[in-house]
């Protein structure tokens, strides 16, 4: 396993269209996170899953956003009726819930441009 993968790497869409991103975590990791990063900012937390359960959603995640992690493996993030303000890098990360240390490992991200 070479790490967290995300698809697509780049997405250009017109305002009002729906988009879906996919994240495949490191196989033995039971936690999966979505973050959003805009220019000049650090990543901002959107939501996370433990196995298939979505445990927390940020206030940043409006009702146009939905995330799923069926069967506790890969995850999808869907944005409906995209707006120009949704343009950002969407990052996925995974981790293993351990007791001695804690790190999240990030994928390369999906860059979304809404025109």
Contact mark string toward other proteins, 2..21, x via CB under 8 A = --x-x---------------
Does position 25 interact with other proteins (CB under 8 A)? The reply is: no
Residue number with CB closer to other proteins (97 or 115): 97
Q: Which residue has the tokens 């869907």?
A: 78
- Contact flag: residue 109 with other proteins (CB under 8 A): yes
User: What is the per-residue DSSP string for 23-75?
Assistant: EE--TT--EEEEEEE-TTS--EEEEEEETTEEEEE-TTS-TTEEEE-GGGS-E
Q: Which listed residue (33, 49, 79, 88) binds other proteins by CB under 8 A?
A: 33
45, 52, 74, 87: residue in contact with other proteins (rule CB under 8 A): 45
Of 62, 73, 102, 113, the residue at the interface with other proteins (CB under 8 A) is 102
Question: Which positions touch other proteins (CB under 8 A)?
Answer: 4, 6, 31, 33, 35, 40-45, 48, 55-56, 58, 91, 93, 95, 97, 101-109
């Amino acid at each position: 396993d070479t790490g967290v993968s995300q698809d697509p790497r780049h997405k250009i869409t017109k305002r009002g269209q729906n988009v879906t991103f996919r994240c495949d975590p490191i196989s033995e990791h039971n936690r999966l996170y979505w973050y959003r990063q805009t220019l000049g900012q650090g990543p901002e937390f959107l939501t996370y899953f433990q196995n298939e359960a979505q445990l927390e959603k940020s206030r940043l995640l409006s009702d146009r956003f939905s995330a799923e992690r069926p069967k506790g493996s890969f995850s999808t993030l869907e944005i409906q009726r995209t707006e120009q303000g949704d343009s950002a890098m969407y990052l996925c990360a995974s981790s293993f819930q351990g007791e001695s240390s804690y790190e999240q490992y990030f994928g390369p991200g999906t860059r979304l441009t809404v025109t």
